[in-house]
Chain A
């Protein structure tokens, strides 16, 4: 497939560089989680990060949205250089994410959880909120309307009022995606969105990821262990192992890379 020219729709979908990670190194005490990682993410593409357990994939996403601050290197996002990125800056510039271990607000309903995704877009003052008047009311209604669109998109209308703590795992993952989508992100970081799901749930989730990408033009950075999902969905794949970058390229290039095969299958070092 590597020789075949990309489909014309594909070429239009993918634009210029949205994010570039430059020589990022991150260590916790003596443990080097990431060393000198560089890669870029283009506008509109689905970019996967794969690697064995402990390779530094989640750390990489955490550096991108500022939860971890890398000791070295920088993040270039939308033409601005951040060294390091901060969580609030990332969130207010359109980076949203989901978590490997679901990080929903368990005591709140599905609706409220997704509404929190829009918190940065709400500007009503304390007084307006206290009285539920003027912007306090109009904003709630306006954002509710948007949140309902997200709920329709993810087909979770029936669980709107259910506290998320009571939902099954697969639906919780979906609500978490909803919360990230509510922020109308430009870059969506998905940390193992399909971990622990059965085939049907994986298919649903894959469909949502493709739809988000195609309908809203959202750029997606995806961490996933299921290779068939990764190879089917991604435009380009970056492979990490022990905090180092092993390979970077289209799914087919990566699949054929000897280092990657060694990392996954194991190899005797002599």
Chain B
């Protein structure tokens, strides 16, 4: 970023507390959003939209959800996949039960259903902390996936057990299901992500966000200040699950186009946990960076081998990919344990002083 904070003075608290207090920052973020909305649909190929941008955006949403819970409120969870599944299955139930209601409502209902389930499975957090809590959230992961797989009611008694996503329209454009146009789908997902990233940002800098961080950093002091641990932890679980639920619904409706349990297994939970660890705990920007990094790195490595003209078997590529991927994660965690978002802010801090750091 080639700009300085110097010379930006605020005369009111309102200006000082704006979302992006530095004018150039504001300009930059708005132009990124404008680029994503106005330019990308025209220049990106079908492959890019379908196989990279849509899943990265959806996973970013899930990562924001987990970051609220783990990064901000400090409650470790391995149930992300299950909360996504809850959003997908219950969103699917709602959308098929009320076919006339707008799909946006369907996704939100999936999120809300997931929020309620999340609050229930978050209850042990009042007594259990850290790794032990993570193990109790595994109960959610296995129980919910089992429930959705074994109970045919959730898939409307579909014979295959994996029903296809129902096609739904917004403003006359098909946005879900296999027949829909990828650009329409992309814009649909993007608008969800923009709105809810903004909401997450507002929540995390306001009273509730400070309460979450207070519980994370020093729960005893927080309680003595008057922050209620029960309310705060459960609200973190509910809001986190709400985000994961929406992401799950979007994943099923707009990306894989079917509602299937294997998309939300324990590997998904770990994948999203890695995203926030690599991206940066307690950072909304980090959720995006982590999602993009974890999702695209294997694709990049895969293409790199072909690009270099190496004649290797696909099995070997797959294994080497895993090894490089693992090594890079270890490297990143050693170099910057606070993730990509911290690297970004350090770079900005350095540039602010550049070229005269003293």
Is A148's beta carbon under 8 Å from chain B? yes
Which 8 residue pairs of A and B lie closest in terms of their CB atoms, listed nearest first? A91-B226, A103-B221, A105-B217, A129-B206, A120-B226, A132-B202, A122-B207, A130-B199
Smallest CB–CB gap between A23 and chain B, Å?
24
Closest to B201 in A: A132
Smallest CB–CB gap between B79 and chain A, Å?
22
Set of chain A residues within 8 Å of B226, measured between Cβ atoms: 87-88, 91-92, 119-120, 183
Are A112's CB and B213's CB within 8 A? Answer: yes
B→A interface (CB under 8 Å): 13-14, 16-17, 19, 199, 202-203, 206-208, 210-211, 213-214, 216-218, 220-228, 235, 282
Set of chain A residues within 8 Å of B207, measured between Cβ atoms: 119, 122, 124, 129, 139-140
Set of chain B residues within 8 Å of A99, measured between Cβ atoms: 221
Is A115's beta carbon under 8 Å from chain B? yes
- In A180-230, the 8 Å CB interface with B consists of 183
Smallest CB–CB gap between A161 and chain B, Å?
10
A87–B217 Cα distance when bound, in Å, is 18
Q: How many residues of A contact B (CB 8 A)?
A: 40
Set of chain A residues within 8 Å of B202, measured between Cβ atoms: 129-132, 136
> Are A106 and B218 also in contact (CB < 8 A) when A91-B226, A122-B207 are?
yes
Set of chain B residues within 8 Å of A141, measured between Cβ atoms: 13-14, 17
Set of chain A residues within 8 Å of B227, measured between Cβ atoms: 116, 119
Is A145's beta carbon under 8 Å from chain B? yes
Are A112's CB and B210's CB within 8 A? Answer: yes
Set of chain A residues within 8 Å of B213, measured between Cβ atoms: 105, 107-108, 112
Set of chain A residues within 8 Å of B14, measured between Cβ atoms: 137, 141
A137–B206 Cα distance when bound, in Å, is 9
Closest to A89 in B: B226
A145–B189 Cα distance when bound, in Å, is 39
Set of chain A residues within 8 Å of B211, measured between Cβ atoms: 116, 119
A179–B218 Cα distance when bound, in Å, is 14
Scoring A65, A129, A131, A183 by chain B CB atoms within 10 A of each residue's CB, the highest score goes to A129
Smallest CB–CB gap between A190 and chain B, Å?
14
A21–B199 Cα distance when bound, in Å, is 47
> In the complex, given contacts A105-B221, A130-B199, what are 12 additional A-B residue pairs having Cβ atoms less than 8 angstroms apart?
A87-B224, A87-B226, A88-B226, A90-B224, A104-B217, A104-B221, A105-B216, A116-B214, A124-B207, A129-B207, A139-B207, A144-B17
A11–B185 Cα distance when bound, in Å, is 75
A112–B17 Cα distance when bound, in Å, is 12
Set of chain B residues within 8 Å of A137, measured between Cβ atoms: 14
Closest to A127 in B: B199
Is A242's beta carbon under 8 Å from chain B? no
A119–B282 Cα distance when bound, in Å, is 20
Is A1's beta carbon under 8 Å from chain B? no
A39–B227 Cα distance when bound, in Å, is 29
Contact with B along A22-52 (1 / 0, CB 8 A): 0000000000000000000000000000000
Q: What are 15 A-B residue pairs whose CB atoms fall within 8 Å in the complex?
A: A88-B226, A88-B228, A104-B217, A105-B217, A116-B214, A116-B222, A119-B207, A119-B225, A129-B202, A129-B206, A129-B208, A131-B202, A140-B207, A144-B16, A183-B226
